[in-house]
Structure 1
Amino acid sequence: MKYIFFVLLVVSTHSFLNAQQSSVKLNDSAMSFYKNDPQRALLVLEEALQISEEKTDHLQIAKSKNNLGIVYRDLGDFEKALHLSTQALNTNDSVLKASAYNNIGVVNRNLANYDEALINYLKALDIYQAKQMKSEIATTYNSIGLVYSYNDINNKAIEYHLKAKEIFESIENKKGISEVYNNIAIIYANDGELEKALDYFKYSLEIEQALNDKKGIAESVNNVGAVYYYLSEIDSALVYFRKSLAIEKSIGDMAGISASYNNMANVLIEAGRLNGTKTYIDSAMYFAQNSKIAVDIESALHNYSQYYEAKNETKTALSYFKELVVFRDSLFSLKTNEKIAELEIEYQTEKKEKEILSQRADIAEQELELNGKNTQLLGLGVLAIILGLLGYLFYSQQRLKNRQLQKENELKDALIKIETQNRLQEQRLRISRDLHDNIGAQLTFIISSLDNLKYGFQLPEKLSNKLKSISEFTSTTIYELRDTIWAMNKNAISLEDLQSRISNFIDKADLASNNVQFDYHTNTSDIENFKLSSVQGMNVYRIIQEAINNALKYASATKITVDFNYSKNQLTVKVIDDGQGFDLEDVQFGNGINNMKKRAHEIIGEIVIVSNVKHGTSIQLQIQDLKENTSNDV
């Protein structure tokens, strides 16, 4: 039952709005109705962005991009939402920057990147507290509570939710109160207090209906259905899930649609009603993969496994279960809770230290002003001149103290940053040692055991070939593990080191492919002082590795050329083959090309693929603005 998930509350534009309206009005209008008509809101915001770009209005450009990011987030397109709100950070408006941080936090929370989510929420909270924006402070408290709730740190979650509730009630924010009750209800439900959870969910639903917020109504309806499921009232649960699905479809929310399909499939499997259930799972997986929703992909894989197990198709059930285990391992780290707690402690400690130093400076300034006033009252004649000189000397002393306090603050910030980097490096080295000593040794033992089986026993040819395939796959895994350890053991990777690594890989590929000619061209001038972070270096290496492997496996190429070029702070890598090529309009990209694009996006790079049938393929990676002596792997 644990895989039923509660949902967290968080025509041409000229036919709707006059073409002469400003970008400001278009933005405000779109955000007033985007919850109930997100597709229309996207059209209005795109027009606002176009007007802002024509006028080179940087503030409105950032505002339009962030608003687009918020709408795409609600529609479940998290990759596009993250890209737009990250671009919106390029603004001097602190409130707009806080909104972008908040949206980036929500996206990372939905993608199960909880440490990144918390970092961005805390950045937003700093700005809102400085501006004394009560509603935004409460919303951010509520969001931080969700991060702790997802990681089963319920005492901290409730602490932040109650902080948010107190502020929302003081300003009579009904929407905020609804979200708080919804999130607290989820904690009660997860703790088994279902009747109490149901009451809170229904209260939240009443508020959303009064506000006529379609997305909020859909989410509350879904949550009520989930409680009925846990109460074993299957038919009632299905009724609510279908209502939620209908509303989510009407507003085009892919995340909500995926969750509703998963919930209905899970209920039907538990009830033994398997007829037509797989269609629901297929739909859930389709929408979850399109929007990259981690929890819904995990839920769909679990539903597949349970469905085939219920049909006594154990082999297929086991296959999906293995895929589920691999997917979970890729998402969740045993250190997640520790990281979140560490970030919270670092943030609170740094914040208190800065507040103390600021208070000291304020007190010094106040003392200075008070002494100045006393000097004016006593200042007559020569005595006034003498007191004035003493006041000036005292003022200079206080200014010197303030400068010293400021330098102390800067020094503490630098020490905190250095300590954090040292801890990250220690963790990286410890993890690389564990990978080498434990996983590497285990994989080597597997290869040895397989070889003993092949040579120690008279095995059927089919089984012998299978063992050989497993041995080769394990050997490949060891090579990839070594590459990963190589990157983890470095704070920074020089371009020469990366070129050497690529050259070694090409030499191995050349030996394994008799009918393929390899050409490797590099320029090694003026690169001694330029380095990549370990993340950048590993991703560049993997992209080149994937491009060469694709050419060998699928292109039937006779010649593969690799160009490695660095010039004017720009790294350009090309992998060109003379193979059979493919039609970019017709072909559906597989995991290999999609992984290359994702890796390029992660290092703020650009990848361009050009291919024509029977005329080969060219894959080009560009990374702009490389900095000299880069050493921080952040």
Structure 2
Amino acid sequence: MKYFLFVLLMVLPLSFICAQQNAAMLNDSAMALYKNDPQKALTILEEALRISKENNDQFQISKSKNNLGIVNRDLGNFEKAKQLSSEALSTNDSLLKASAYNNIGVVNRNLAKYDEALKNYLSALDIYQAKNMKSEIATTYNSIGLVYSYNGINEKAIEYHLKAKDIFESLDNKKGISEVYNNIAIIYANDGALEKALDYFKYSLEIEEALDDKKGMAESVNNVGAVYYYLNEIDSALVYFRKSLAIEKSIGDMAGISASYNNLANVLIETERLNGTKAYIDSAMHFAQKSKIAVDIESALDNYSKYYEAKNDTKTALSYFKELVVYRDSLLNIKTNEKITELEIEYQTEKKEKEILSQRADLAEQELELNEKNTQLLGLAVLAVILSLLGYLFYSQQRLKNRQLKKENELKDALLKIETQNRLQEQRLRISRDLHDNIGAQLTFIISSLDNLKYGFKLPEKLSDKLKTISEFTTTTIYELRDTIWAMNKNEISLEDLQSRISNFIDKANLTSNTVTFNFITNTSENEHIKLSSVQGMNVYRIIQEAINNALKYADANTISVEFNYTEDQLKVDVIDDGKGFDIENEQLGNGIHNMKKRALEINGEISVISNKNQGTHIQLQINDLKKYTTNDV
């Protein structure tokens, strides 16, 4: 009987170990194949969870739940994925907890809960950095970059993507490199650099095909199709979108299926191929609502509005457009960007505080070592030497304390500077987002409503002309609002960027005036790296804009020239026309010239106006000592 009991006690732990190993093997095998066969992976993971629960193996239970959350996320079952990974957070294993935070972050990002997503990613990043896990750190940097990219904070997004790229390249991680290039390409595409974006997307697709990652292939194929669409190569775009749809269907990814149907519908509407298009939109809305993907629901509503507008059913089109505006307003809460910036401030501040504590600990150790050495010397030296050493040690300790205080003050100043810069960026983001999302959307709705009135009703000619004037004025207001947002979103503006903006304005002015010849001359090719503050750049742009508008309205000119010159830290901008001119001494200057002088005064510049009757007008803006205005501190 005793022997039987002894054998039983030995067998039970062995059976438990076997079950534990079996659950671990099932988890590993499922995650190795889930990209290409997610349904089979789900079946294997459910079995691993059942075995883990039978043996009360808490680690494997949490691991199985988190893996189930990852696969459900890829299939677009976001709420279920979030629940499973949240339950996995009960584990004591820090790496498993970090993986769960990352998966919840991806889900929240897809559900447009960007502030929560960033908080999840930062929690995961803390764990990976503490363990110096480079690949996981890079993956998390890439995910944080996506949050900023989705919110239009492109400079911050590229900063995190490039951090991830450097680490992935050092590790030769092909999948990571592919994802980084794909994410950077999206930013280039949104900025209009389509050829560059296409190269990056195709490079990403080559890597995904080599890895045989169907999910990655579907995303890259879809992105290539989108670029071809914007390049107006419609047939190529349709081929890639249909290819993406086929791959997404093969792996059962509801999110991808919805996006592909939306893309196909949008291209067909734009090219006026309306037969069967509504079926695509219906399918997109079905899968988007099933997976609760905010961006795809929004795209489907937009496609419905465009489809009925193309069918000349303006009443139904306007109904869907109003539904789209309401839905978009419910998502684009201004506080989202504010919370993201606040979390970034908290994270960076906490990091600096840890560095301060670490440096203080190092200084304390150094001081302790110095005191111990002093004690040894005191025991061996004669009284005269001791007295001289005491004086020297007192002086050294005082210098050490002074250095310590100096370093502490420098660190405090650095923290204060970071907080100030972040608060300033926060205010800029809040104001620009408010202008774009509220005022911009309202102006766009006004234009759409005016167009619907003109085309939906037979109006008297006089009233129709008045509505056209209001629509054109509103459109001009939107352009000026975009110029303001462009300047507000930048800490500094390069001379090259400013000249490009002015060149675009001149091109638009040239289209509206067939009788005037425009000349744009720049003698600053070697100095285009020079930076101006956003205030300087905007004021210079507005002065030139005002000068050109005045020449078009009042000068009856045949030629208008704009010239940039830079010499010895001095920037000169000349606007010259050959119009009828005016007598500066005897004519009262208008608000336009007064406004230009006021703007020049705000940036410590000088403006001069030279004009005589029948001899044209010459307006010159001069900014001296430009160096002191070209730093980031301006």
Bin of the TM-score, shorter chain as denominator length: 0.5 to 0.7
Give the secondary-structure state (helix, strand or coil) at the position aligned to 1:22: helix
Write out per-residue CA displacement over residues 466-485 of structure 1, whole angstroms, 9 at most, x where no aligned residue.
Answer: xxxxxxxxxxxxxxxxxxxx
For 2:242, give the aligned amino acid: R
Higher relative contact order (CA 8 A, sep 6+): 1
Report what 1:226 is aligned to.
226
Give the secondary-structure state (helix, strand or coil) at the position aligned to 2:92: coil
For 2:117, give the aligned amino acid: A
After TM superposition, give the deviation of residue 361 of structure 1 in Å.
2.6
Change (3 A) 1:377 1:84: farther
Contact 2:69–2:84 under 8 Å retained in 1: yes
Report what 2:330 is aligned to.
330
Separation of aligned partners in 1, 2:34 and 2:138: 22
For 2:352, give the aligned amino acid: K
After TM superposition, give the deviation of residue 360 of structure 1 in Å.
1.9
Separation of aligned partners in 2, 1:26 and 1:362: 48
Matched residues, number:
375
After TM superposition, give the deviation of residue 48 of structure 1 in Å.
1.1
Q: Taking every aligned residue pair, what percent have the same amino acid on both sides?
A: 85
Give the secondary-structure state (helix, strand or coil) at the position aligned to 2:112: coil
Separation of aligned partners in 2, 1:370 and 1:316: 82
Separation of aligned partners in 1, 2:366 and 2:22: 46
After TM superposition, give the deviation of residue 335 of structure 1 in Å.
2.7
Q: Is 1:205 aligned to 2:205, yes or no?
A: yes
Separation of aligned partners in 2, 1:80 and 1:246: 25
Separation of aligned partners in 2, 1:85 and 1:214: 23
After TM superposition, give the deviation of residue 277 of structure 1 in Å.
0.3
After TM superposition, give the deviation of residue 338 of structure 1 in Å.
2.3
Write out per-residue CA displacement over residues 525-572 of structure 1, whole angstroms, 9 at most, x where no aligned residue.
Answer: xxxxxxxxxxxxxxxxxxxxxxxxxxxxxxxxxxxxxxxxxxxxxxxx
Report what 2:474 is aligned to.
none
For 1:300, give the aligned amino acid: A
Write out per-residue CA displacement over residues 28-60 of structure 1, whole angstroms, 9 at most, x where no aligned residue.
Answer: 111111111111111111111111111111111
Give the secondary-structure state (helix, strand or coil) at the position aligned to 1:60: helix
Write out per-residue CA displacement over residues 257-288 of structure 1, whole angstroms, 9 at most, x where no aligned residue.
Answer: 00000000000000000000011001001100
Matches within 5 A, 1:217-256: 217-256=217-256
Change (3 A) 1:20 1:117: closer
After TM superposition, give the deviation of residue 231 of structure 1 in Å.
0.7
Matches within 5 A, 1:310-321: 310-321=310-321
Contact 2:168–2:177 under 8 Å retained in 1: yes
Report what 2:193 is aligned to.
193
Write out per-residue CA displacement over residues 443-496 of structure 1, whole angstroms, 9 at most, x where no aligned residue.
Answer: xxxxxxxxxxxxxxxxxxxxxxxxxxxxxxxxxxxxxxxxxxxxxxxxxxxxxx
Contact 2:306–2:317 under 8 Å retained in 1: yes
Report what 2:51 is aligned to.
51
Matches within 5 A, 1:520-531: none
Report what 1:137 is aligned to.
137
Write out per-residue CA displacement over residues 278-334 of structure 1, whole angstroms, 9 at most, x where no aligned residue.
Answer: 110010011000000000000001101111111111111111111111111111112
Report what 2:283 is aligned to.
283
Give the secondary-structure state (helix, strand or coil) at the position aligned to 2:152: coil
Write out per-residue CA displacement over residues 558-602 of structure 1, whole angstroms, 9 at most, x where no aligned residue.
Answer: xxxxxxxxxxxxxxxxxxxxxxxxxxxxxxxxxxxxxxxxxxxxx
Separation of aligned partners in 2, 1:102 and 1:352: 24
Report what 2:93 is aligned to.
93
Write out per-residue CA displacement over residues 104-126 of structure 1, whole angstroms, 9 at most, x where no aligned residue.
Answer: 11111101111111111111111
Contact 2:238–2:267 under 8 Å retained in 1: yes
Give 5+ residue unaligned stretches, structure 1. Answer: 1-17, 381-411, 413-418, 424-634
After TM superposition, give the deviation of residue 154 of structure 1 in Å.
0.6
Separation of aligned partners in 2, 1:223 and 1:117: 23
Report what 2:80 is aligned to.
80
Change (3 A) 1:378 1:336: same
Contact 2:19–2:51 under 8 Å retained in 1: no
Report what 2:70 is aligned to.
70
Separation of aligned partners in 2, 1:110 and 1:201: 21
Report what 1:181 is aligned to.
181
Report what 2:167 is aligned to.
167
Report what 1:268 is aligned to.
268
Report what 1:352 is aligned to.
352
After TM superposition, give the deviation of residue 21 of structure 1 in Å.
5.3
Separation of aligned partners in 2, 1:242 and 1:370: 73
Contact 2:304–2:317 under 8 Å retained in 1: yes
- The structure with the largest helix share of the pair is 2
Give the secondary-structure state (helix, strand or coil) at the position aligned to 1:289: helix
Contact 2:19–2:55 under 8 Å retained in 1: no
Separation of aligned partners in 1, 2:268 and 2:186: 22
Separation of aligned partners in 1, 2:238 and 2:212: 23
Report what 1:126 is aligned to.
126
For 1:267, give the aligned amino acid: V
TM-score (norm 1): 0.56
Matches within 5 A, 1:476-515: none
TM-score (norm 2): 0.56
Change (3 A) 1:363 1:47: farther
